[in-house]
Structure formats: structure tokens, C-alpha cells
Structure 1
Amino acid sequence: MISRRNLLTFSAASLASLPLSAFATPTAPVEGKEYTMVRPVVPMKGKKIEVVYFFSYTCPHCFRFDPIIEPWSKKLPSWIDFKLNPVAWDSRLDPFVKTYYALESLGLLPKLHMKFFESVIYQTHKYENPAADIADFMVKAGVNAKQWNSAYNSFGVANKTRAASRLWQSYGIDATPMIGIDGKYVTGPHMTPTRESDLVVVETLAQRARKARL
């Protein structure tokens, strides 16, 4: 877990994803142990159960978790709306949030999300002047400079960056990685024995939220 008060950057090795069934986890997660309640509840607009993965490109723990949560998210049932929400603890880190949404708008997340993540965590590219250094990374990765700057500075990316900030604050997120479930629950891999078992907790809480809506 990395908090806004303890931003660290160090080398991290990707972990192979293992089946969730291979890990023990409580069938009835305990409040205050495996998860916490969101108070006040974040209002939900959609019909689906929202599951939000709060992460930061500067978070080595998120880097370890990403290869586990990504394939898991592809197998979720259709009644769950899963999304990533990048976090910036202050405006100095906003360029990293904007990077996620710029990559999304260009359809480049599958190609460059992890490559960019690796460059930050392994420090293979310096980000002393984030906006300019990020643009330099993207150009060296094959992205057209004009297209990148247009996407990065677009109205849509700016709006999504502001919305991302409002959402993590609404959920009361003060560390990453964390997962919010339907505006009611928050859990994270540091709250369970393994990263994989935390995803079982997420599934349980999503089912609970779904039943509460019926």
C-alpha cells in the first residue's frame, strides 16, 4: 500500500496471476478488517454495480497488483461496471492522471499502459518535468507528438482528470492500490492475506451490493 504521505518509487517485479480459488479468503468479509464502509455513500447513477480500481503510476504496489487485477477484470459478469481511476495526491502529479486518459482517448492503453508504468517504477525515464518528460517518453514509444499533445491537453482529458480527483476523494481513498465497490465499500490487497484473495472479497461485496438493490 502506498499513501499520499509516503510516495515511494522503487523497482518492482511483476507477479504471475494465479487462480483465485487457490487462495483462502473469508466467505463473509469483516468490516474493519477486510473492508471499510464509505460514509457518506457515494451516489450511483448507473444500473450496474460499480467497481473502481484506484491506482497511481507512481505506486510500486499498484505496479505489482496491475498484472493480477487486469485479467481478473476481463472475466467479471456483465452486471459489473469495472473501471480504473488514476489518483494524484496533489496537482504536481496530475500529469500522470492526464497520461492515463490521454492514452485511453488515443486507444493506446493496451500498448503503452504497462510500458509507461514500468518506466516510472523502474526509473528508466526521468520525470522531473512531468508533462514534458511524459511527452518525450510517448514520442520515443512511437506516438505522434502532435496527436499526443492534442489528446493530453484536450478538454475531455481535463474533465476526466477532475472527475477522477472527485471520485477518489468521495470514496475517502488515502492510499493505493484500493478498490471501491458501488459507492459503499472499500477494500485493498493490504487488507487480505494475498492480492488474489482481495479480489474474492471484491466479488463478495459486489454480490452484496447487487442484492441490496433488488
Structure 2
Amino acid sequence: MKLKTVFLAAALALTAHAQAATEGKDYTVLAKPIPQAQADKIEVLEFFGYFCVHCYHLDPVILKHAKTFPRDTYLRTEHVVWQPEMLGLARVAAAVNASGLKYQANPAVFKAVYEQKINLADSNTFKQWAKAQKSFDSGKLIAAYDSANNQTLAKKMEELTNTYQISGTPTVIVGGKYEVKFNGDWNAGMKTVDELVAKIRAERGMKAPAPRVALKSKGASVAKSANR
């Protein structure tokens, strides 16, 4: 029985190794690393465009998956700017990020831009559209859009796009180092993201974070939000 157990453990180990993310197939190594926004954590960075059909399909998948990230891992999103006309949508993305409404507003923005063909790159059109929304705090989003640093944040997105030569969307980078290759399967890509997060953690010698504790009551959820 002991010998069988050894063989079984070895087989499982080989299977796990075979299923691990493979360089060239599941990810590539960036020639020029991208500095993280939070150096002491592990960043999952997505370069996206509200106009992009692939980003439109990836968005609900990556937002859902980001909720499962360990405590030392976070999602960062930057809108690409390949030409001046894209700065308008970058301003919308910057407002979404700054307002903390990514999970609430992003689905509505994608629907407006991609499905309904509403020109949210235009400032007046965006504000009129935002005021009519009921699925998120429109006043909070508009305030972030009108803030003094909104255009600066959009310009930084343009600089990032150019500096790191982002040529396609979505581009997802883990730890500022590894670019995920999705191969047509967004959910499989999330598995690769998780494996790269673990890889970055091991490379940096970071201690594994404590597992997230599921909240069992509304009161506990409120308490958690208050302590963030």
C-alpha cells in the first residue's frame, strides 16, 4: 500500500507539473518590466479599451476573478491611448478607477460604447449618459471625471501605452513581468494568472497570505467594508 501511495503521489506531481503555465504557450516574459503601482504587492495589470470586443468579453471574467485574488494581489486597469481621440475614453476609465466604481460602472460603460455605440469620448455626451444611469453612483463618477487630476491620469495612460509599446488589447501583465497569452479561452487565462501570481510570489520570497474568510452575515460584510 505504501508503494502504491508513493506512485500515486508521483503521478499527481507529474500531472500538476504538466498542467503548469508554460513560457511561450501560456505567457511571455516582458523585455522591459513595468513598474507596479504598489511595489509591495503583486499586480495584475490589464491594458484595455472600451471599444475592444475582446476586452468587452474579458471584463466580466477578470472582474469576477479579481474578487478571488489573495490579499497580496490586486487588479489595476489602464485604458490604451494609441491616438489623441482615445483620450476621451481614457478620461472615462480614469474616472471609473478614481471613483472606486470599477465593478459597478464598467459593465454599463462597455455596453454604452460597444453595444449602443454611444460616444462617451465626448465630455458632454458622457455626462448626460452618466446622469441617466441607475446601476451606480453617477454623481460620484462625474465628480471624479471633473476632478483636477482626471486629464493628468488619462495622459499617464497614454504615456504607459507608448512607453511599454502596448500594441493590442487586452494585454494582461502579472507582477510587471509576465504577459498572459489567452489562446481564446478567458477562463483558462485566469488559471494562468493565478499560476503567475504564485510564480512572482516565489521569486520575490514573499510569504503566502492568509486565506480570505468568507463573510456569513450582512453585518459582517458591513464591518469589513468599514475597516478597509
- Same-fold call, TM cutoff 0.5: yes
Counterpart of 1:120? 113
Question: Equivalent residue of 1:100, what SS?
Answer: helix
Question: Equivalent residue of 2:24, what SS?
Answer: coil
Counterpart of 2:6? none
Which residue, 72, 75, 78 being the options, matches 1:82? Answer: 75
Distance across 1 between alignment mates of 2:121 and 2:58: 27
Counterpart of 1:38? 30
Ranked by relative contact order (alpha carbons within 8 Å, sequence separation 6 or more), the top structure is 1
Distance across 2 between alignment mates of 1:180 and 1:28: 17
Farther-moved stretch of structure 1 (45-54 vs 194-203): 45-54
Structure 1 gap segments, 5+ residues each: 1-24
How far the C-alpha of 1:62 sits from its partner, in A, is 0.9
Distance across 1 between alignment mates of 2:163 and 2:121: 29
Q: Equivalent pairs: percent with the same residue? A: 24
Q: Call closer, same or farther: CA 1:156–1:188 in 2, change over 3 Å.
A: farther
Distance across 2 between alignment mates of 1:207 and 1:50: 12
Structure 2 gap segments, 5+ residues each: 1-16, 206-228
Question: Equivalent residue of 1:211, what SS?
Answer: helix
1:33 is matched by which residue type in structure 2?
K
Q: Call closer, same or farther: CA 1:212–1:163 in 2, change over 3 Å.
A: same
How far the C-alpha of 1:185 sits from its partner, in A, is 0.9
How far the C-alpha of 1:58 sits from its partner, in A, is 0.5
What RMSD in Å do the two structures reach over aligned CA positions? 2.7
Distance across 2 between alignment mates of 1:108 and 1:68: 17
Q: Which has the larger radius of gyration?
A: 2
Distance across 1 between alignment mates of 2:44 and 2:78: 10
Counterpart of 2:131? 139
Q: Call closer, same or farther: CA 1:201–1:170 in 2, change over 3 Å.
A: farther
Question: Equivalent residue of 1:175, what SS?
Answer: coil
1:56-67 alignment runs, 5 A limit = 56-67=49-60
Distance across 2 between alignment mates of 1:147 and 1:50: 24
1:121 is matched by which residue type in structure 2?
Y
Please report the TM-score for the alignment, with normalisation by the length of structure 1: 0.75
1:200 is matched by which residue type in structure 2?
K
